[in-house]
């Protein structure tokens, strides 16, 4: 199986978790919040769009993109699920704000992982 296709498939699966959990908590009968809910859903999907763009680029390692997808996806899935269902924590008024930071942390994980693999690849190419 092609590594790029596997990475994009995993990214698509992980990208559906955030908006899926958002739909669980959203009241769709209020049309005034529909634009905000759509913006939040796009914010939750955006880290994995970044991974898909990295896979399409030849400058980034396919292994690095796969590892970044797995790390960011598992972190986001665990943290979002924990904030939604509270397996280990108690419900708080700050859960909604914490959900906003899940995608920010996923962006940081992806950028740092891709940057590390890019630097290692560049360093190896330079040594040859």
pLDDT tens-digit map of 77-122: 998 888 888 778 777 777 778 888 899 999 999 999 999 998 988 8
Give dist(CA 88, CA 64) in Å, integer.
31
Tell me what the pLDDT averaged over the chain comes to.
86
Residues 6+ apart with CB under 8 A from 59: 118
pLDDT band, residue 66 (cuts 50/70/90): very high
Q: Is the Cα dihedral 36, 38, 55, 64 positive or negative? A: positive
The full set of domain ranges for the chain reads 3-127
Cβ contacts of 20 within 8 Å, gap of 6 or more: none
Would you place residue 51 in the very low, low, confident or very high pLDDT band (cuts 50, 70, 90)?
A: very high
- pLDDT higher at 95 or 74: 74
């Amino acid at each position: 199986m092609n590594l790029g296709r596997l990475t994009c498939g995993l990214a698509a699966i992980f990208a559906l978790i955030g908006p899926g959990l958002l739909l669980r908590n959203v009241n769709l009968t209020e049309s005034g919040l529909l634009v905000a809910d759509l913006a939040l859903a796009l914010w939750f999907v955006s880290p994995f769009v970044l991974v898909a763009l990295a896979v399409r680029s030849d400058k980034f390692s396919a292994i690095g993109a796969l590892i970044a997808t797995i790390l960011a996806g598992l972190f986001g899935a665990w943290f979002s699920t924990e904030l939604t269902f509270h397996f280990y924590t108690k419900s708080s008024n700050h859960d909604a704000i914490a959900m906003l930071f899940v995608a920010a942390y996923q962006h940081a994980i992806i950028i740092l992982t891709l940057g590390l693999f890019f630097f290692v690849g560049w360093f190896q190419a330079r040594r040859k």
